[in-house]
Structure 1
Amino acid sequence: MKTILCFGDSLTWGYDAASLGRHALEDRWPSVLRATLGGNIEVIADGLNGRTTAFDDHLAGADRNGARLLPTVLMTHAPLDLIIIMLGANDMKPWIHGNPVAAKQGMQRLIDIVRGHDYPFDWPAPQILLVAPPAVSRTDNAEFKEMFAGGDEASKRLAPQYSALADEAGCGFFDAGTVATTTPLDGVHLDAENTRNIGKALAPLVRVMLEL
């Protein structure tokens, strides 16, 4: 049995901008990844709306700081063979920081946490796959347009930053923007087809990393 943890935000949770609800379980990218891989694989989806890489955002009734939450998540689901981290879109909010270099530093912090965690029973740290989220796109949705002001340009620079970090840190890397685009309904989230595309596209890379 191989166990994969998908640690992300609303794109992993499955937020549906059309219904203002949640995509069907079978359409969310972690579920599609599991179905595409087949075999004796467990895929755990841990997505939280608004989650950042490593920065505080107190606008919801849940802690959105990924770095603060990750140690508990790792302990909850250990042992793990692979963790897939797709975060950074919410970092583009101007009141968070709106800077792709800061998001890269946040991802570095998450890598350090995964590799330095005190796992029970001397279990090894899992492999790490960094995923750059699809870039924020322009939208006529007034609230999201202001919420992610400047994010359309800043988020385009996330993939190069994450790719360089993955090379430096010895992690896997995938640019989800090569297979998925955000919906014009709010410029941030994914429709069912695009979230499915991410799950399908990750499967070959996961197979290589886990030697499946």
Structure 2
Amino acid sequence: MKTVLCYGDSLTWGYNAEGGRHPLDDRWPSVLQAVLGAGVYVVADGLNGRTTAFDDHLAGADRNGARLLPTVLMTHAPIDLIVIMLGANDMKPWIHGNPVAAKQGIQRLINIVRGHDYPFDWPAPQILIVSPPAVSRTENAEFKEMFAGGDDASTRLAPLYADLADESGCGFFDAGSVAETTPLDGVHLDAENTRNIGQALAPLVRVMLEL
């Protein structure tokens, strides 16, 4: 049995811009699980507002992906592959709004995964970096201000992440090639688009796990 950990934010959690949370079957980690079948165990660890490696004290939960990752790795070990899709929340102006900083945040996560002290001498998992779909324009006043400038900055994540993946020997996938954010808030995904990500990731995950 292979274990795949999906480490992300509200796009992995299944946030529904129409209100609430997408049904379990519509969330992309669940779709990935369904496509891969019983020989793979897919763990979804999504947290609303999670950043790559930066603090955001506006919620009761710790949103710093770098600080949380070691605990998550220990919780679900042994892990064969970790799929990291983060960076959208880094585009908030009060976080930093800079795609280069998000790339550096992803580099920090790679270093944590590879340098972690796993129990029983288990090897570090392979890493698949996924750039989130770009933030889009919206008439939602709150989200428009929350992600001001993010529609431009987030389009730069995919090429930066692709270069980082190539340099660091990780897998890479651009989720924006198969999914786009909803105009309801410019950030999240409708059910069809989140399902698209799970479907599209399955062939790459199979290759990386040698299934």
Q: Percent identity?
A: 86
Quote the Cα distance in structure 1 between the aligned partners of 2:126 and 2:204.
12
Match in the other structure for 1:3? 3
Match in the other structure for 1:197? 196
SS in 1 for 2:195: helix
Query: When the two structures are superposed, what TM-score results if normalisation uses the length of structure 2?
Result: 1.00
Query: What is the Cα deviation at residue 40 of structure 1?
Result: 1.1
Query: What is the Cα deviation at residue 38 of structure 1?
Result: 1.1
Match in the other structure for 1:37? 36
Query: What is the Cα deviation at residue 207 of structure 1?
Result: 0.4
Quote the Cα distance in structure 1 between the aligned partners of 2:40 and 2:72.
19
Quote the Cα distance in structure 1 between the aligned partners of 2:80 and 2:40.
10
- Structure 2 unaligned segments of length 5 or more: list them: none
Q: How does 1:68-147 map to 2 (within 5 A)?
A: 68-147=67-146
Quote the Cα distance in structure 2 between the aligned partners of 1:100 and 1:165.
12
2:57 corresponds to 1:58:
yes
Quote the Cα distance in structure 1 between the aligned partners of 2:114 and 2:42.
20
Match in the other structure for 1:22? 21
Aligned length: 211
Quote the Cα distance in structure 1 between the aligned partners of 2:202 and 2:31.
9
Quote the Cα distance in structure 1 between the aligned partners of 2:118 and 2:37.
27
Quote the Cα distance in structure 1 between the aligned partners of 2:24 and 2:170.
28
Deviations 1:8-45 (CA, angstroms, capped at 9, x unpaired): 00000000001x20000000000000001113110000
The amino acid across from 2:111 in the alignment is: D
The amino acid across from 1:9 in the alignment is: D
Deviations 1:70-115 (CA, angstroms, capped at 9, x unpaired): 0000000000000000000000000000000000000000000000
- Structure 1 unaligned segments of length 5 or more: list them: none
Deviations 1:58-81 (CA, angstroms, capped at 9, x unpaired): 000000000000000000000000
Shift >3 Å, 4+ stretches: none
Quote the Cα distance in structure 2 between the aligned partners of 1:34 and 1:203.
8
Deviations 1:162-192 (CA, angstroms, capped at 9, x unpaired): 0000000000000000000000000000000
SS in 1 for 2:44: strand
Tell me the C-alpha RMSD between the 2 structures.
0.3
SS in 2 for 1:11: helix
The amino acid across from 2:137 in the alignment is: R
Deviations 1:129-168 (CA, angstroms, capped at 9, x unpaired): 0000000000000000000000000000000000000000
